[in-house]
């Protein structure tokens, strides 16, 4: 390859970056290199439809195989980039990348979309057979096969992926226990009322949820896991363990390049790294808070990967930036459909709209009276109303937000001046 753009990491953000470059009229070569063996595919169904046997792997591909050649995108699969050298004194941002397979990829522009990997446990017994993680296609295929044969499933970690997988395992009739080290589920993402709702909803469906349950190790026989050990000395029998305790951003390449990293590759609102000629997007980055600009956040979502990759493409081509997008996210745990718009980080007030026990309710978050976010459970109209409010810079007064006799969209109040568009 000579010149053009090199995108390292061929997944949600990397593919979007290539697509956006072409949409912006870039006609230079694009190389999209990824260490996985497969063309870019969607990850969200791995813990939902695919695990439940309702989707096959082929249906997860983002694009038809012909898309890449048709659009002049050289997709290099199964190659890990191990080193990047920027040309000193050459065109800013140009250089050569080398891969584990010995390829040299020259580029004029560089983007890192290297994502994140699962945080792994190092407790005694953590390498026993039957202890699984869920990040990619191969993990998901392995988990699905094992799930068929398993009877006692323990999920370590009560975050989104753990709870989604627990819901699938339970729907398949397995004996399922979720162990969460914190005092509540989803503690980093939602208010206590939402955490408590999920604890009860999963229990109603027959899943055991243990809170404040710190896993200290695993027992095994013949190399296979047989039980999960807890800090209180107890042991819970298990023939399949799924660990979902968060992810670690893949900063190794950026660090070797001398780019500033701090819990992710540090980028600005235009997805430019500490070397402004190099961009980064998606789960591997930390960025200024997209709504307030105050402090940095790391967002692990499809919406963020798409929005940041779009911004990165514009930055690489020297095009004007679009304004920041309103973040949104979803997590489908069986029939419980959670939709989140905005970011609730730093909220000082929240309003519950509807009755959690009805399994259809929303929570609106505020800071100093300003609407920040909504968590909507089986309430798509509330979600849409708040997403629109945040996009238009409108608000829903906290005093009236809880009144379920009135549709939320009719409660929208005057626009602020610092409105942000959606993407």
Ligand X SMILES: Cc1cc2nc3c(=O)[nH]c(=O)nc-3n(C[C@H](O)[C@H](O)[C@H](O)COP(=O)(O)OP(=O)(O)OC[C@H]3O[C@@H](n4cnc5c(N)ncnc54)[C@H](O)[C@@H]3O)c2cc1C
Residue 302 within binding range of ligand X, rule CB under 6 A: yes
What is the C-alpha to C-alpha distance for residues 6 and 74, in angstroms, rounded to an integer? 10
- What are the strands of the beta sheet with 175-179, ordered from one edge? 131-132, 240-243, 152-156, 175-179, 208-210
Smallest distance from ligand X to CB 253, Å = 5
Which pairs count as long-range contacts for 101-106, CB under 8 Å and 24+ apart, including other chains? 103/76, 103/79, 105/1, 105/6, 105/31, 105/33, 105/76, 105/81, 106/1, 106/2, 106/3
Question: With CB under 6 A as the contact rule, which of the stretches 19-27, 146-154, 301-309, 354-362 interacts with ligand X?
Answer: 301-309
Residue 8 within binding range of ligand X, rule CB under 6 A: yes
Residue 330 within binding range of ligand X, rule CB under 6 A: yes
What is the C-alpha to C-alpha distance for residues 342 and 326, in angstroms, rounded to an integer? 6
Enumerate residues 6+ apart whose C-beta is below 8 A from 173. Answer: none
DSSP state at residue 392: H
Q: Which of 367, 386, 391 is nearest to 375 (CA)?
A: 386
Burial of 167 (0-12, 13-18, 19+ CB in 10 A): buried
For ligand X, the binding residues in 13-52 under the rule CB under 6 A are: 13-14, 33-36, 43-44, 46-47
Whether 27 and 2 have beta carbons less than 8 Å apart is answered as no
Residue 11 within binding range of ligand X, rule CB under 6 A: yes
Q: Which of 194, 232, 195, 203 is nearest to 215 (CA)?
A: 232
What is the C-alpha to C-alpha distance for residues 292 and 305, in angstroms, rounded to an integer? 19
Smallest distance from ligand X to CB 56, Å = 16
Residue 250 within binding range of ligand X, rule CB under 6 A: yes
What is the C-alpha to C-alpha distance for residues 336 and 160, in angstroms, rounded to an integer? 12
Among 300, 316, 364, 365, binds ligand X (CB under 6 A): 300
Residue 156 within binding range of ligand X, rule CB under 6 A: no
Smallest distance from ligand X to CB 233, Å = 32
Residue 115 within binding range of ligand X, rule CB under 6 A: yes
Nearer to ligand X, 161 or 291 (CB): 161
Whether 344 and 375 have beta carbons less than 8 Å apart is answered as yes
Among 52, 191, 213, 253, binds ligand X (CB under 6 A): 253
Question: With CB under 6 A as the contact rule, which of the stretches 24-32, 170-178, 233-241, 294-302 interacts with ligand X?
Answer: 294-302
Burial of 275 (0-12, 13-18, 19+ CB in 10 A): middle
Nearer to ligand X, 134 or 257 (CB): 134
Residue 375 within binding range of ligand X, rule CB under 6 A: no
Nearer to ligand X, 1 or 214 (CB): 1
Give the tokens for residue 394: 């409108």
DSSP state at residue 59: G
Among 26, 180, 283, 375, binds ligand X (CB under 6 A): 283
Nearer to ligand X, 130 or 249 (CB): 249
Nearer to ligand X, 296 or 409 (CB): 296
Tally of CA atoms within 13 A in the half-sphere of 6 that contains its CB: 28
For 168-178, b/e burial (b = at least 16 CB within 10 A) is: bbbebebbbbb
What is the C-alpha to C-alpha distance for residues 310 and 75, in angstroms, rounded to an integer? 19
Binding mask 214-243 for ligand X (x = CB under 6 A): ------------------------------
Among 60, 185, 240, 305, binds ligand X (CB under 6 A): 305
Smallest distance from ligand X to CB 375, Å = 14
Among 158, 249, 282, 354, binds ligand X (CB under 6 A): 282
Nearer to ligand X, 225 or 284 (CB): 284
Smallest distance from ligand X to CB 38, Å = 9
Nearer to ligand X, 177 or 285 (CB): 285
Residue 135 within binding range of ligand X, rule CB under 6 A: yes
* Number of shown-chain residues binding ligand X (CB under 6 A): 36
Residue 12 within binding range of ligand X, rule CB under 6 A: yes
Smallest distance from ligand X to CB 397, Å = 29
Residue 329 within binding range of ligand X, rule CB under 6 A: yes
First to last CA, the chain: 33
* Contact residues: ligand X, CB under 6 A: 8-14, 33-36, 43-44, 46-47, 80-81, 113-116, 134-135, 161, 250, 253, 282-283, 300-303, 305, 329-331
């Amino acid at each position: 390859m000579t010149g053009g753009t090199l995108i390292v990491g061929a997944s949600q953000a990397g593919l979007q970056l290539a697509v956006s470059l072409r949409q912006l009229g870039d006609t230079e070569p694009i190389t999209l290199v990824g260490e996985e063996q497969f063309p870019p595919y969607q990850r969200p169904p791995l813990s939902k439809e695919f695990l439940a046997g309702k989707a096959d792997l082929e249906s997860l591909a983002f694009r038809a195989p012909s898309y890449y050649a048709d659009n002049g995108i050289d997709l290099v699969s199964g190659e890990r980039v191990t080193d990047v050298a920027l040309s000193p004194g050459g065109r800013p941002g140009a250089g050569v990348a080398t891969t584990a397979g010995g390829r040299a990829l020259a580029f004029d522009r560089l983007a890192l979309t290297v994502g994140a990997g699962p945080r792994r446990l190092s407790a005694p017994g953590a390498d026993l057979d039957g202890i699984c993680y869920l990040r990619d296609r191969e993990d998901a295929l392995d988990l699905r096969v094992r799930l068929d044969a398993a009877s006692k499933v323990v999920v370590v970690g009560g975050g989104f992926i753990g709870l989604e997988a627990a819901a699938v395992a339970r729907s398949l009739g397995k004996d399922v226990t979720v162990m969460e080290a914190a005092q509540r589920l989803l503690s980093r993402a939602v208010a206590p009322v939402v955490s408590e709702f999920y604890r009860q909803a999963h229990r109603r469906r027959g899943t055991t949820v243990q809170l404040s349950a710190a896993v200290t190790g695993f027992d095994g026989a013949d190399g296979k896991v047989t039980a999960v050990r807890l800090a209180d000395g107890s042991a819970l029998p298990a023939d399949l363990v799924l660990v979902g305790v968060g992810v670690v951003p893949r900063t190794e390449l950026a660090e070797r390049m001398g780019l500033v990293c701090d819990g992710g590759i540090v980028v600005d609102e235009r997805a430019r790294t500490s070397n402004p000629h190099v961009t980064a997007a998606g789960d591997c980055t930390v960025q200024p808070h997209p709504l307030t600009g105050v402090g940095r956040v790391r967002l692990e979502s499809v919406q963020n990967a798409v929005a940041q990759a779009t911004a990165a493409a514009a930055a690489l081509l020297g095009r004007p930036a679009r304004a920041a997008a309103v973040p949104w996210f979803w997590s489908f745990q069986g029939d419980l459909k959670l939709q989140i718009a905005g970011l609730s980080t730093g909220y000082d007030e929240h309003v519950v709209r509807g009755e959690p026990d009805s399994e259809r309710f929303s929570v609106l978050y505020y800071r100093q009276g300003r609407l920040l976010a909504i968590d909507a459970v089986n309430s798509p109209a509330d979600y849409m109303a708040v997403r629109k409010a945040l996009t238009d810079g409108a608000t829903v007064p906290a005093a009236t937000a809880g009144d379920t006799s009135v549709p939320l969209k009719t409660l929208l109040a005057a626009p602020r001046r610092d409105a942000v568009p959606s993407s």
